[in-house]
A and B are shown apart, each in its own frame.
Chain A
Amino acid sequence: MKHRVSNTKLHSKVYRGGKKEATQSYSTIRRGADDAGNKGRRRKAAWLKDPMNVIITGVGGQGNVLASRVLAGMLVNAGFYVTIGETFGMSQRGGSVMSHLRISQKSIMSPQIPLGQADIIIALEPVEALRVLIKYGNPKVAVLANSRVVYPIGVITGELNYPSLNEIKNVLQKTAARSWLIDATEAAVALGNPVLSNVVIIGALAAVNLLPIDRKAFVKEIAKNMAADKQKNNLAAFAAGFQLIQ
């Protein structure tokens, strides 16, 4: 009971500071990552905005929930406060799914990211990237998306059109500060299982250097609750994703 009072006070103090920092420091993150990209070497991402708002989206069945839990687990292990907001149930069955991760060094945040305030959007399917970008995007957002399409039912039946990959690319380039479109599914299929594309994306996320995660953190997290044989495949998927960004 006392816990909540102190927590609340902390919360209000933190927020003001956090918000101010956010606007100033985001460009630093981008520069840092660019530099790293150009040199082909990575340095640990500096923690420059608090909270970081990350959305992981995809199609039910693509392993969206697992991706968000692995990512959150790595950050919790590193000492961050993480809140995950997700909905599952009916949407599992091939519908759009979305997890909100809010990551802070200082306090717990509410599990819903306000509209227009995502910092990073990770999409396991390209059109889902756009769907989230419309609602949560802003001129500073970074988008990492799988380029492999999964057609919604309306497209299958021929009633609706699915935008071309070029159109998607253009929209990403116009509306996001940075974006990467990678064929994570192809990399996963090459490893023998398309389901691994969620982990390929996590590997790519480590490579773009926007969050303080790396191979070591990934190894530690999956060692917690994954069978040894599965760990091997997942590690290969992580490495493949990392390579895609190189």
Chain B
Amino acid sequence: MKVLMSGNEAIARGMYEAGIRFAAAYPGTPSTEILEEFAKYDGVYAEWSPNEKVALEVAIGAALAGEKAVAVMKHVGVNVAADPLFTVSYTGINGALVIISADDPSLHSSQNEQDNRNYAKFAKIPMLEPADAQEAKEFIKLAFTISEKFDTPVFLRSTTRVSHSKSVVSLEEPIPYIDKTAITYNTTKYVMVPANARIRRVAVEKRTLALKTFANSFPENKLEINNPDVGIITAGMPYNYAKDVFPDYSYLKLGMVYPLPEKLIREFAAKVKKIYVIEELDQFLEEQIKAMGISVIGKEIFPYTNEFDPGIIQNAINNQNKATDLPVKSIPPRPPNLCPGCPHRGLFYTLNKLKLFVTGDIGCYTLSFMKPLEGLHSCICMGASIGMAHGMSKALKEKGKGKIVGVIGDSTFIHSGITPLLNMAYNKSNAVIIICDNSTTAMTGMQEHPATGYTLLGEKTKQLDLKVLVSALGIDNIRVVDPYDLKNTRAVIKEELAKDGPSVVISQRPCVLFKRAKLKAQKPLQVDPEKCTGCKVCLGLGCPPISWKKMEKKEGSKREGVSVIDENLCNGCGLCLQVCKFEAIK
């Protein structure tokens, strides 16, 4: 049967077809749908772990028990999981273990553009890279075969374009699940104290050598000899782009990007006159191929940054720079924005008015750094807001008193905000931390987490009480506010900033898009054009339905226009009503 599937759906399907029943992940674009889709199959165990490190450790545990397990994460998630990653490479696995890294060339939804192929080389773990949904389904199966055969964790690398593109996939009958789990002891292999780890270190080198040999005969490293004048070495999605524009050239398409098949690459080099290495981001393949003494053309003509498309490859090889200027006037850019009725809006409006330095974190609220809210001033990684707020406040001493606030979402706080908050209590911090609790993992599309009270499989579970947790970490000043109430939110934050010692304010209101919260949209608001003085204060909320309409000046009036609210977009949250001093909004 053939169906239209995204790369992520195909990976989940491939896992199921291969008899895999165990997976753990933390959501992160573009990887999220892999586990969401996998969780829908019968008889699987799938969990959202609090972060990627935990997800990988859960998968390692399952593999140690003899299970075939998967850990799924976005590229920066591998940074979080790097600690267990480097050592599980030494121990190897008992069942089978695959780590899926979904990279994000072009930074569609990420804070950086790191190329996780480097992790494969760094941690000495083989890596497969599919080029489309069909391959994604096949390669996840091959990854498990390699994991079992070589006693190694295996990476499957996807990119946004592979994960989120849909194409036709052939479905196959799933092989039945076989339970091979059991408790077995092998301490010299799994207890990584120096004496044991030194022995495993050597085993890893031997394994890499064996994998290098295997790579030469790995059927997904494919030679296509067509026109012998030009050869292209590539992997993953760029292969499709290159085939679109240069169908007649010769290709070496690498299904395994680490370790490289040296013999096969030499064979290819001997058959073609000139070689281009086409790869997005780092010159990962190019460097290794050049180190073999083979002359190739790579990053001297192809871009280092952003994802490719067929045009980029064509222009680079043909040395063309097509300027595409049509007679169109400047078009206003449209960056993403907080939704109408978003609970974050009121909070960040308030933070801006209080003239603070706000260390931010990863989530929808990061968008409030933009005009007009401008209520957030840094964003590095998951959890960084808290450690940074503490560090800034310590460094600034008296200058920072009452000025430093760290802001973090509920899911992000659970991911990696707990330890830095403990640190604030322990090291006598003076900063205020605000947890934006919207009752879900909103940015990636409403995933469950420990404080939602539900698991990925839809079961009710123990619900984390954020207040109790924060208190247990040693924070004495804990306040809860509703960010729709601007006056109280402002007053509470001011009070907490004035106190000595750390405070936590929980800004609590469910995401407006969160269906389970069953929020009823209020009646859309309207501007009374008679009462509106055109002061533009409401525009400072940056709310999508509110805009400004120019009017002709009446005699004796300073008014140049009025605000208008698009009733199709307004959900009646009432923030604009609170900021209007002229009672012009009803």
Contact = CB atoms under 8 A, between A and B. Distances in A.
Residue among B168, B326, B543, B568 facing the most chain A CB atoms (10 A cut-off)? B326
Contacts of A96: 334
Given A76-B168, A158-B539, A128 B334 contact: yes
B331 A111 contact: no
Contact of B339 (A5, A8, A94, A111): A94
Contacts of A43: none
B161 A134 contact: no
Q: With a 10 A CB-CB cut-off, give which of B29, B135, B334 has the most chain A CB atoms.
A: B334
Contact of A3 (B30, B134, B334, B539): B134
Interface stretch (A145-153, A212-220, A227-235): A145-153
A8 B322 CA distance: 28
Contacts of A59: 334
Contacts of A1: 138, 219-220
Nearest to A162: B332
B310 A112 contact: yes
Interface in B207-236: 219-220, 222, 224, 226
B536 interface: yes
A133 B326 contact: yes
A153 B337 contact: yes
Contacts of A117: 311
Contacts of A15: 243-244, 247
B109 A91 contact: yes
Interface string A192-215: 001000000000000000000000
A128 to B, nearest CB: 7
A114 B29 contact: no
B188 interface: no
B302 to A, nearest CB: 15
A145 to B, nearest CB: 13
B240 A111 contact: yes
Contact of B370 (A109, A112, A153, A155): A153
B322 A116 contact: yes
A1 B170 CA distance: 12
A81 B168 contact: yes
Given A84-B165, A175-B327, A11 B243 contact: yes
Nearest to A171: B328
B334 A152 contact: yes
Contact of A114 (B226, B309, B328): B309
A145 B259 CA distance: 49
B242 to A, nearest CB: 9
B132 interface: yes
B339 A127 contact: no
Which of A73, A89, A113, A185 is the most central at the interface, judged by chain B CB atoms within 10 Å of its CB?
A89
Interface residues of B, number: 68
A90 to B, nearest CB: 4
B548 interface: yes
Interface string B562-581: 00000011000000000000
Contacts of B194: none
A152 B309 contact: no
Interface in B320-353: 322, 324-329, 331-339
B339 A72 contact: no
A163 B328 CA distance: 10
A151 B544 CA distance: 7
A109 B326 contact: no
A130 interface: yes
Nearest to A13: B247
Given A109-B244, A115-B322, A171-B328, A156 B108 contact: no
Contacts of B108: 87, 89-91
B164 A3 contact: no
A73 B30 CA distance: 22
A246 B499 CA distance: 68
A90 B443 contact: yes
Q: Say whether chain B's binding surface is mostly helix, strand, loop, or mixed.
A: loop
Contact of A12 (B161, B247, B540): B247
A11 B367 contact: no
B547 A151 contact: yes
Contact of A194 (B164, B243, B547, B568): B568
A189 interface: yes
A110 B4 contact: no
B339 A155 contact: no
A189 B566 CA distance: 12
B310 A90 contact: no
A112 B329 CA distance: 26
B311 A111 contact: no
Contacts of B160: 87
B4 A8 contact: no
Nearest to B243: A11
A156 B548 contact: yes
Interface in B134-150: 134-135, 138
A60 interface: yes
A133 to B, nearest CB: 7
Given A115-B309, A156-B539, A163-B329, A108 B371 contact: no
A161 interface: yes
B539 A111 contact: no
B167 interface: yes
B361 to A, nearest CB: 14
A16 interface: yes
Contacts of B73: none
B309 A112 contact: yes
A114 B132 contact: no
Interface in B230-274: 237, 240-241, 243-245, 247-248
B328 A156 contact: no
A237 to B, nearest CB: 15
A170 to B, nearest CB: 9
A86 B166 CA distance: 8
A15 B268 CA distance: 24
Contact of A83 (B165, B314, B337, B546): B165
The 4 closest A-B pairs by CB, nearest first: A89-B109, A95-B336, A89-B29, A110-B240
Given A3-B138, A83-B167, A114-B310, 20 more contacts: A3-B134, A13-B247, A73-B4, A85-B161, A85-B164, A89-B108, A91-B108, A93-B367, A110-B244, A110-B309, A113-B309, A114-B245, A115-B322, A116-B324, A127-B332, A134-B325, A135-B324, A151-B544, A158-B536, A171-B328
9 contacts: A1-B138, A4-B135, A83-B165, A93-B364, A94-B334, A110-B244, A127-B331, A133-B326, A156-B544
Interface of B: 4, 29-30, 108-109, 132, 134-135, 138, 160-161, 164-168, 170, 219-220, 222, 224, 226, 237, 240-241, 243-245, 247-248, 309-311, 314, 322, 324-329, 331-339, 364, 367, 370-372, 443-444, 536, 539-540, 542-544, 546-548, 568-569
